């Protein structure tokens, strides 16, 4: 399962966010490094399409997609040189597929630490960038030498050189101009700043409707970045309540269903994950696949036999199926397409696979 990691300064609210998502009670405390070993949890991806299909099919069970997230210990200035949890911390970040910066904007005298989200972002980015710079420097000289004899290394060396230049200017690679091809060539070096990032700004409970800190971070990370304001404390406290009570309280505060469903959806998306659906009386289910997967690859998410023995897929977009009112009707109307092994599965496709084992 794909996973993303919460990265932030001590007391930013990472463990509280973890608790809000899982309803768990990991230690959240007003002192630095309350978390040392990472907490790992799973969140269901909310999907209204799945719910609509399930009620169309009167499915007995409904299974949403899920993603994994890791609550990592706090990072401090100098982490790249071993300060605080240092190397252990950076090792934890290496293992995730995407980074969620948790930036504190709430003010609370009883909780030490800075409340300026931009200042925190600066510290986090510097530490990750320095760690990457060190990794690249370590490998670049060797590779440049090797490339003199082995011409097949030319592209990799040029990616390393470009990374070196960007990182040397203090710019994380996700902000730099490296092409996706070059980023892919850097894969063997397990860098941190080649991972996709998003940010959560933890706004105070006395300031929930103030969008300023969120806007500032978005401007800094770029207009296309994913930045979400969440009052983590509130969401964590209400996560212990039954679903309907929680919804009522959040709604009364003008927060709708809360920020967490939107957050999970965005996180899923930036990981390059997409959903196809299956639906029937027994079960409606959302399945995760990587953007760009072919029909047999997607079938393999259900069962390896489906991939090995793939014959063809029958498919229709979820909303067209809903319009038809059911699979049989859609088929009669000629709206179910038959696709072969080269078909690139689209987000929101409802699939049935034909296979032979």
**Rounded Cα–Cα distance for residues 312 and 299 (Å):** 10
By CB under 6 A, which span of 199-207, 256-264, 295-303, 321-329 interacts with ligand GTP?
A: 199-207
Interface with ligand GTP, residue 73, by CB under 6 A: yes
- Nearest distance in Å: CB 110, Mg ion: 16
CB of 126 to ligand GTP, least distance (A): 17
Q: Considering the rule CB under 6 A, would residue 84 count as an interface residue with ligand GTP?
A: no
User: Can residue 114 be called a binding residue for ligand GTP (CB under 6 A)?
Assistant: no
- How far lies 56's CA from each of 60, 62, 113, 247, 337, in Å? 11, 12, 51, 25, 20
**Of the candidates 108, 161, 220, 339, which one interacts with ligand GTP according to CB under 6 A?**
108
Q: State which of positions 8-67 bind Mg ion (CB under 5 A).
A: 14-15, 34-35
DSSP assignment of 291-333 equals: TT-BHHHHHHHH-HHHHHTEEEEEEEEHHHHHHHTSHHHHHHT
Which of 8, 117, 172, 213 contacts ligand GTP by CB under 6 A?
A: 8
Instruction: Using the minimum distance from each CB to ligand GTP, give the nearer residue, 65 or 214.
Output: 214
The count of other CB atoms within 10 Å of the CB of residue 29 is: 12
Q: Does 293 bind ligand GTP (CB under 6 A)?
A: no
- Pick one of 95, 205, 251, 333: the residue that binds ligand GTP (CB under 6 A): 205
Cα–Cα distance measured from residue 239 to residue 113, given in angstroms and rounded to the nearest whole number:
25
For position 11 contacting ligand GTP by CB under 6 A, the verdict is yes
Residue with smaller CB distance to Mg ion, 8 or 204? 8
- CA–CA distance, 23 with 46 (Å, rounded to integer): 16
The answer to whether residue 315 forms part of the interface with Mg ion (CB under 5 A) is: no
Q: Which residue lies nearer to ligand GTP by CB, 31 or 190?
A: 31
Q: Does 14 bind ligand GTP (CB under 6 A)?
A: yes
Using CB under 6 A, which of 7, 20, 21, 28 touches ligand GTP? 28
Q: Which is nearer to ligand GTP, 70 or 288 (CB)?
A: 70
Number of residues that bind ligand GTP (CB under 6 A): 26
User: For strand 273-279 and strand 283-290, is the pairing parallel, antiparallel, or unpaired?
Assistant: antiparallel
Interface of this chain with ligand GTP, residues 156 to 185, rule: CB under 6 A: none
Please count the other Cβ atoms lying within 10 Å of the Cβ belonging to residue 141. 10
154 contact, one of ligand GTP, Mg ion, none, CB 5-8 Å limit per kind: none
Q: Closest CB to ligand GTP among 201 and 271?
A: 201
Between the alpha carbon of residue 283 and those of residues 47, 64, 155, 266, the distances in Å are 15, 11, 48, 25
> Interior CA angle at 47 toward 293 and 241, to 5°?
140
Q: How far is CA 55 from CA 243, 281, 322, 328, in A?
A: 20, 10, 10, 16
Residue 344 DSSP class:
B
Can you list the alpha helix ranges (DSSP code H) found in the chain? 14-22, 48-57, 86-94, 117-149, 154-168, 180-185, 212-221, 232-238, 243-252, 260-270, 295-302, 304-308, 318-324, 327-332
Q: Count of CB atoms within 10 A of residue 184's CB?
A: 11
Binding partner of 111, given Mg ion, ligand GTP, none, CB within 5-8 angstroms per partner class: ligand GTP
Candidates 32-40, 175-183, 186-194, 315-323; binding stretch for ligand GTP (CB under 6 A): 32-40
Q: Which residues bind Mg ion (CB under 5 A)?
A: 14-15, 34-35
Residue ranges binding ligand GTP (CB under 6 A)? 8, 10-16, 28-30, 32-35, 73-74, 106, 108, 111, 202, 204-205, 231-233
């Amino acid at each position: 399962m794909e996973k993303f990691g919460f990265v932030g300064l001590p007391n930013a609210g990472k463990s509280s966010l973890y608790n809000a998502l899982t309803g768990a009670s990991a230690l959240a405390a007003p002192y630095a490094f309350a978390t040392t070993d990472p907490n790992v949890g799973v969140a269901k991806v909310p999907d209204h399409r799945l719910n609509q299909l399930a009620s169309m099919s009167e499915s007995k069970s409904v299974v949403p997609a899920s993603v994994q997230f890791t609550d990592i210990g706090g990072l401090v200035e100098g982490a790249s040189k071993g300060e605080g949890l240092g190397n252990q911390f950076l090792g934890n970040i290496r293992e995730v597929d995407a980074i969620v910066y948790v930036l504190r904007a709430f003010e609370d005298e009883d909780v030490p630490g800075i409340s300026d989200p931009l200042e925190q972002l600066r510290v986090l980015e510097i530490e990750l960038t320095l760690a990457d710079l060190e990794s690249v420097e370590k490998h670049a000289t060797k590779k440049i030498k090797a490339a003199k004899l082995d011409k097949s290394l030319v592209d990799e060396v040029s990616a390393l050189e470009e990374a070196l230049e960007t990182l040397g200017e203090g710019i994380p690679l996700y902000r730099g101009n490296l092409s996706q091809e070059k980023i892919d060539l850097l894969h063997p070096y397990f860098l941190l700043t080649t991972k996709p990032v998003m940010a959560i700004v933890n706004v105070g409970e006395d300031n929930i409707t103030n969008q300023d800190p969120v806007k500032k971070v978005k401007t800094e990370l770029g207009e296309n970045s994913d930045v979400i304001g969440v009052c983590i404390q509130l969401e964590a406290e209400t996560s212990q309540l039954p679903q309907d009570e929680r919804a009522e309280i959040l709604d009364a505060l003008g927060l709708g269903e809360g920020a967490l469903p939107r957050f999970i959806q965005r996180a899923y998306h930036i990981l390059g994950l997409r959903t196809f659906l299956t639906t029937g009386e027994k079960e409606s289910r959302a399945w995760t696949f990587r953007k760009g997967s072919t029909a047999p690859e997607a079938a393999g998410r259900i069962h390896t036999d489906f991939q090995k023995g793939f014959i063809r897929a029958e498919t229709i977009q979820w909303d067209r199926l809903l319009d038809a009112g059911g699979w049989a009707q859609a088929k009669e109307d000629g709206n179910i397409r038959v696709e072969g092994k080269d078909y690139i599965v689209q987000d929101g496709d409802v699939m049935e696979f034909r296979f032979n084992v």
